[in-house]
Amino acid sequence: MDMVEFTPTPEQYGWTFGGASPLLEVSPGTTMRLWTEDAYCGLLTRSTDKASELLRGDLNPQTGPFFVTGAEPGDTLALHFVEVQPARDWGVSTLIPLFGGLTNTVLAPTLNEPLPELTWIYQADLSKRTVLFEALSGEIAIELPLEPMLGTVGLAPSMREARTSLVPGAFGGNMDSPDVKAGATVYLGVNVPGALFSVGDGHYRQGEGESCGCAVEGAMNVTLIVDLIKGGAPAWPRIEHDDALMTVGSGRPLDDAWRISQVEMIAWLNSAYGLDRLDAYQLLSQISECPIANVVDTSFSATTKVRKRFLPAGGDRFGGIHERLRSQGRQLL
């Protein structure tokens, strides 16, 4: 099994999905050890730092893109996350004017004064596996469990598009789903030769919806296995855990993101388990979990999650690739 280690220089950061030249070519089956910078390019280190002053508008640097040997449009890229580990002992979150879920924004403008710009620093205790929330007003401090995840994972979009790393879509991207974590396999439909995937936007933890637009942002060490399934491209990103299947839809308003994730899950249950589409619709009505991923980006993301214990035995989920990669991944730990 091939192994590639890669840490990008700032000049190598990716800022888009699509539209950039690949940094490396990797074969299916390759294990990659990647480093990802935080969404603020590592420039915010104190609660007095302001994103508007220290960043030049560039947010959410990606590690990638990587060209996957043999990947063609219509194929399915499988990225199995073996480890997602904080690379620092602190994380950071901010309130950015005209950005977030509970404020006027550029895409939903009002005449109100914007909210103020604020920065919170979270100390991380990697042995206790916690991060520390400290209120800016008053003395309240709360220990929260470390739950590392990646906000972005995606590949080059269809239709010759290049999209900013701030937006999610059918190509993945900035979905901000807490389900993209160690142990997960993410399936993405390939649109261009080589797939051209990137990852980034590590979160030491995040609430569902990512209310203010920013999680506990932090640099990450990521170990993943790249694999390729010929054909079978899903229309929207799919995620597999040992105990659950997930689909992520992105759009506006949030109900359409939810609809996309539900219809994609019905398609998956239909093809993998032979469930009639209307039976699958009925079954989802009784078993779906629907955690919201983000209500803050320029497109919102909703998740449909189904526990495998509520599905028929058997089923063909991309030929059992998750179990195989999971087993490979365990040997790497």
**Window 237 to 296, contacts with a second copy (CB under 8 A):** 251-256, 258-260, 262-263, 266, 273-279, 281-292, 295
**Residue 207 and residue 215: Cα distance in Å, rounded?**
7
> What element of type H or E holds 226?
strand 220-229
100: left (phi over 0), alpha (psi -120 to 50) or beta: left
Tokens describing residue 304: 């449909």
Which of 85, 310, 319, 323 binds a second copy (CB under 8 A)? It is 310
Which of 160, 316, 319, 332 binds a second copy (CB under 8 A)? It is 160
Nearer to a second copy, 70 or 291 (CB): 291
Nearer to a second copy, 26 or 275 (CB): 275
As measured in angstroms, the least distance from the Cβ of 321 to a second copy is: 24
Q: Is 118 in the site for a second copy (CB under 8 A)?
A: yes
Torsion of CA 42, 47, 48, 50, to 10 degrees: 50
As measured in angstroms, the least distance from the Cβ of 44 to a second copy is: 14
Nearest 5°: phi and psi at 280? -65, -35
Which residues does residue 132 pair with via DSSP β-bridges, in sequence order? Answer: 123, 143
Q: Which amino acid, 159?
A: M
271: left (phi over 0), alpha (psi -120 to 50) or beta: alpha
Exposed, middle or buried by CB within 10 Å (0-12, 13-18, 19+), for 90? middle
Question: Cα–Cα distances in Å, from 291 out to 123, 137, 145, 268, 278?
Answer: 27, 30, 19, 18, 23
Nearer to a second copy, 29 or 114 (CB): 114
Q: Is 16 in the site for a second copy (CB under 8 A)?
A: yes
Cβ-contact 225, 68 below 8 angstroms:
no
Q: Is 120 in the site for a second copy (CB under 8 A)?
A: yes
Nearer to a second copy, 43 or 267 (CB): 267
Cβ-contact 97, 118 below 8 angstroms:
no
How many residues make contact with a second copy (CB under 8 A)?
A: 89
Of 46-85, binders to a second copy (CB under 8 A) are none
Nearer to a second copy, 31 or 191 (CB): 191
Give the 3-state secondary structure of residue 116: coil
Of 124-143, binders to a second copy (CB under 8 A) are 131, 133, 135-138, 140, 142
Nearer to a second copy, 49 or 161 (CB): 161
Cβ-contact 291, 307 below 8 angstroms:
no
As measured in angstroms, the least distance from the Cβ of 262 to a second copy is: 6
Q: Is 300 in the site for a second copy (CB under 8 A)?
A: yes
Which of 110, 127, 327, 331 binds a second copy (CB under 8 A)? It is 110
Q: Residues 201-220 vs a second copy: string with x where CB under 8 A? A: ----xxxxxxxxxxxx----
